[in-house]
Amino acid sequence: MEFFRIKKDIPFMRHALKFNIISLLTFLAAVVFLATQGLHLSVEFTGGTLIEVSYPQAAELEKVRGALGKNGFSDYSVQNFGSSRDVLIRLPLKDAGASAQQGEQVMQALAAEAPGAELRRVEFVGPQVGKELAENGAMALLVVIVGIMIYLAFRFEWRFSVSAIIANLHDVIIILGFFAAFQWEFSLSVLAAILAVLGYSVNESVVVFDRVRETFKKARGLTTPEVLDHAITSTISRTIITHGSTQIMVLSMLIFGGETLYYFSLALTIGICFGIYSSVLVASPLVMWLGVSREQFIPKQKKVIEGATEDGACV
């Protein structure tokens, strides 16, 4: 069985401009959503209290809201979580001392007004901790980007490094854009997913670039777009199969993982799909615009004939 029987190199680069415009539009849309709507940050970042309760039968959200309102809570949000029997209550931060007690107060209020609730989980995050988590998250993102850039700069020349990182940052912004557009909850585990997928899909660009380098050395007389087309065409099968396999796993988490892993796997799914797209169809045109050419890989004419695959790194 073989899925990809590609007779000719697919002329991706002929459409380079179109791809770049699509990317730019998606990117801009993501930025607009981020700017106008903002991320729906989870309690971990904002601070506050999160209480999950479960009822033996379908929960009556109105009653729960009533119970909270009567007991002096304000700015709360009450919604179903996963099933109609599970309820998620969010409370904003209060004074440090008072917030720590909110879990018990809510359970007392519920016991009086909407009985039958079983406490599933309480999460309380103080303002200081929330701020730190947000700062550390941003720091982690920065370190990943810088680390990968340094690695790529060692591995390739700067044009590749810059294009790969731009392509992948474009993924990150787009994932964030999705979370802003649909107001999905952005939690620490979503951040972990984004960083993991960032490290994963940069590798995709590496594979294509390896092939570009190899092709430049091996085949003379090809124009730069033709080289890029060949590199992409000959790696596309591998790209789709590996991402497909990873996606199978992520899909399994999306289906079986429940509410807790839902947004985590959703971020991964978007990341993987855009990872394929961007590393192939964004990074490569960028390399082309940045003016990559055969001369950059072969300092001496002689070397071409002898050492076609000396770096060996390619698929």
Q: What residues from 171 to 230 belong to the interface with another protein (CB under 8 A)?
A: 188-189, 191-192, 195-196, 198-200, 202-203, 206-207, 210, 215, 218-222, 226, 229-230
β-bridge pairing 83-91 and 185-186: unpaired
Least CB distance from residue 192 to another protein, whole Å?
A: 5
Pick the closer one to another protein by CB: 73 or 124: 124
- Which residues, 106 to 125, sit near another protein by CB under 8 A? 118-125
Q: Closest distance between another protein and the C-beta of residue 196, in Å? A: 6
* Footprint on residues 17-56 left by another protein (CB under 8 A): 44, 52, 54
Within 114-257, where are the H helices?
A: 127-155, 158-181, 188-218, 224-256
Note whether 293 binds another protein by CB under 8 A: no
Asked if residue 256 binds another protein (CB under 8 A), the reply is yes
Site for another protein in 136-175 (CB under 8 A): 136-137, 139-141, 143-144, 147-148, 151, 155
Q: Among 23, 161, 163, 265, which residue sits at the site for another protein (rule: CB under 8 A)? A: 265
Candidates 71-79, 176-184, 243-251, 280-288: pick the segment binding another protein (CB under 8 A): 243-251
Query: Total binding residues for another protein by CB under 8 A?
Result: 94
Tally of residues, the chain = 315
**In the structure encoding, which two tokens stand for residue 100, read together?**
């720590």
Least separation in angstroms between CB 28 and another protein: 26
- AA letter at 5: R
The answer to whether the beta carbons of residues 71 and 105 sit under 8 Å apart is yes
Under the binding rule (CB under 8 A), the answer on residue 134 touching another protein is no
Q: What H or E segment, with its residue span, contains residue 77?
A: strand 77-81
Helix axes 127-155, 158-181, angle to 10 degrees: 150
Query: Does 273 sit near another protein (CB under 8 A)?
Result: no
Residue number, 25 or 136, with CB nearest to another protein: 136
Give the N- to C-terminal CA distance of the chain in Å, as an integer: 19
For residues 31 and 243, the answer to whether their CB atoms sit within 8 Å is: no
**Residue with smaller CB distance to another protein, 25 or 96:** 96
Name the pairing type of β-strands 118-125 and 83-91.
unpaired
252 binds another protein (CB under 8 A): yes
Contact present, 230 and 215 (Cβ < 8 Å): yes
Phi, psi of 312, deg, nearest 5: 65, -10
Cα separation, 174 vs 176, in Å, equals 5
Decide: is 89 part of the binding site for another protein (CB under 8 A): no
Residue 10 vs 290, nearer CB to another protein: 10
| Residue 248 in the binding site for another protein (CB under 8 A) | yes
* Interface region with another protein, contact rule CB under 8 A, candidates 13-21, 62-70, 126-134, 298-306: 126-134
Nearest to 14, CA basis, from 281, 210, 290, 274: 281
138: CB partners within 8 A, 6+ apart: none
